Amino acid sequence: MRAGESAQRNVLAGLAAPIDLVILAGIIPTFVENGRGDPAVIRRILRTNTYRRIAVLVCALAPLLMARQLGAQEALKVPEGLPDWTFNIPDKIQPTAVRVGGIVRAPGSAKEYEWAKVAGTANPPDWFPDEHPPAPRSVTGGAGIRFACGACHLMSGQGHPEAADIAGMPAEYLIRQMAYYKTGARKDDARMGPIANATSDEDVRQAAEYFASLKPAVWVKVIETATPPKTFIATAGRHRQLHPDGGTEPIGRRILEIPEDPFRTEIRDPHSGFIAYVPPGSLARGEALVKGGESGKTVPCAVCHGEGLKGLGEVPRLAGLQPLYVARQLFDIRHGSSAGKAADLMKPVVANLSEDDIIAISSYLGSLPPP
Ligand code: HEC
Ligand code: HEC
């Protein structure tokens, strides 16, 4: 056994607390040395094999995560063992949902579109062209492009919770994720896998630079409640919507995100955001975990994600991201369905988190102001 391995065994034997000490002991001096924001810091962290090896071991030993059974329908789309609520799987029974058709307009926009022409993924509406720099064809659509990024991530980059908010994310980070989707290291067989495969490196680079240049706004309002309104997941757009029957239902162990205005979300209006209902107590508990790591349960996020969780070097921002999205990523990383090399650094972070911890952390992050 190599020396490093016996050190890791000691770490593992002593449960979680020493793990974060070991990691912090390594990282903090590096930060002091280099100053904040230097991408070299991140490169150095990424090169540090000890962390990677700890991560791999922790993951291997972690009990095989949530033995939750999934129904036959969900099993088609949700990686086995992961909670279906993070993936917005359309309900089998579909009550009446918002139907869009004819000529559509968005409040405050001078534009109008024939819905049939912009409804798909090839030619998304651009309601506020003055609010962003000129966008490349991979984002707007154009000859030969079936999946324009603007269709799901919106021209604002902030996207819907079943997709992702990529506004202002570092270009290198975005390019790296596209590469992970392409190789399957990060799995999204329904959407980003095929899209990454169909998009040229040059189109990816242009799209990444475009989204990196955008400034995110507050896009989700987080509300703690034990009894959110009754909702269902509509087939169109995979959006959760208010149930026409009205009433409330217990939140249980979930985060439920609904559009502030389903019509405006459906027409991809970048000025109409989301409401996230989260279980009572999530925000305070999330803050404690994010800031303190709660004596070894996890690692304080700001060490790598920067002050205010606004991003640091090539490490993405977390502040103001959609809680449903963040929860899905934390489950995916823990499960191994998002296992790009750079995500190794996240493995010790998620290894000991319970479903409740993930809900709390994601809720708190969603409540923070974006940079
Ligand atoms: C049909 C809808 C759709 C289109 C079109 C689309 N995406 Fe996505 N994108 C998604 C979904 C869904 C996810 C979330 C997948 C997951 O949970 O890992 C996502 C996630 C991402 C992520 C990961 C974000 C993060 O913070 O890690 C990146 C990067 C991304 N998309 C880039 C692009 C680019 C670039 C394009 C255009 C070439 C594009 N997407 C087009 C649906 C789409
Ligand atoms: C040791 C460094 C480190 C620490 C500590 C850390 N992270 Fe990360 N995290 C990363 C890196 C690096 C990435 C990006 C991986 C990549 O490029 O693929 C990442 C990615 C993520 C993502 C995916 C973001 C997206 O847009 O898809 C989430 C969510 C996340 N981290 C949450 C957290 C939370 C919550 C904490 C604290 C509880 C935390 N991280 C602590 C290094 C870290």
Would you say the CB of residue 334 lies under 6 angstroms from ligand 2? no
- Taking only the tens place, the pLDDT of each residue in 80-92 is 888 989 998 889 8
CA dist 2 to 7, 10, 23, 208, 283, Å? 9, 13, 19, 41, 43
Cα of 164 to ligand 1 centre, how many Å?
6
Direct distance between the N- and C-terminal alpha carbons of the chain, in angstroms, rounded to an integer: 46
Distance 334 CA to ligand 2 centre (A): 12
* Tally of structural domains, the chain: 3
- Over residues 266-323, the pLDDT tens digits come to 999 999 999 999 999 999 999 999 998 777 899 999 999 999 999 999 999 999 999 9
Whether 43 is in a domain gets the answer yes
Residues with CB under 6 A from ligand 1: 121, 138, 147, 149, 151-153, 162-164, 166, 169, 174, 177-178, 188, 191-192, 195, 199, 204, 207, 316, 328
Verify that 225 and 328 share a domain, yes or no.
Answer: yes
Instruction: Flag whether 95 is in a domain.
Output: no
What SS3 class is residue 221? strand
Q: Which ligand is in closest contact with the Cα of 123?
A: 1
Looking at the fold, whether 191 and 285 belong to one and the same domain comes out as: no
Q: Which of 235, 324, 318, 270 is nearest to 159 (CA)?
A: 270
Closest ligand 1 atom number to CA of residue 186: 18
Q: Is 98 a member of any domain? A: no
In this structure, which residue's CA is closest to atom 37 in ligand 2? 301
Instruction: Please say if the pLDDT value at position 123 is more than 60.
Output: yes
Ligand 1 geometric centre to CA of 80 (Å): 21
Structure token digits, residue 56: 């791999």
Ligand 2 centroid distance, CA of 94 (Å): 36
Are 176 and 314 in the same domain?
A: no
Q: Hey, which of 140, 147, 152 would you mutate to test ligand 1's pocket, going by the most ligand atoms within 8 Å of its Cβ?
A: 152
Q: Quick check: is 97 in a domain?
A: no
| Closest CA relative to residue 155, chosen from 173, 129, 181 | 129
Domain boundary among 164, 191, 212: 212
Q: What's the 315 CA to ligand 2 centre distance in angstroms?
A: 7
Q: What is the CATH number of the domain that holds 154?
A: 1.10.760.10
153 and 55, same structural domain? no
Q: 180: which DSSP letter?
A: H
Cα(77) to centroid of ligand 2, in Å?
24
Q: Is residue 134 domain-shared with residue 61, that is, in the same domain?
A: no
Looking at the fold, whether 269 and 149 belong to one and the same domain comes out as: no
Looking at the structure, do residues 194 and 225 belong to the same domain, yes or no? no
Same domain for 233 and 343: yes
pLDDT level of residue 77 (50, 70, 90 thresholds) = low
- 96 is a domain residue: no
* Inside any domain, residue 222: yes
Domain assignment present for 127: yes
Same domain, 255 and 341: yes
**Domain match, 228 and 360 both:** yes
Would the pLDDT of 211 be above 50? Answer: yes
What percent of the chain is modeled with pLDDT above 90?
69
Question: Are 208 and 221 part of one and the same domain?
Answer: no
Question: Global pTM?
Answer: 0.84
Instruction: Give residue 257's domain range.
Output: 84-90+217-367
Is position 110 within any domain? yes
Do 363 and 222 share a domain, yes or no?
A: yes
Residues 6+ apart with CB under 8 A from 169: 157, 211, 212, 311, 316, 317
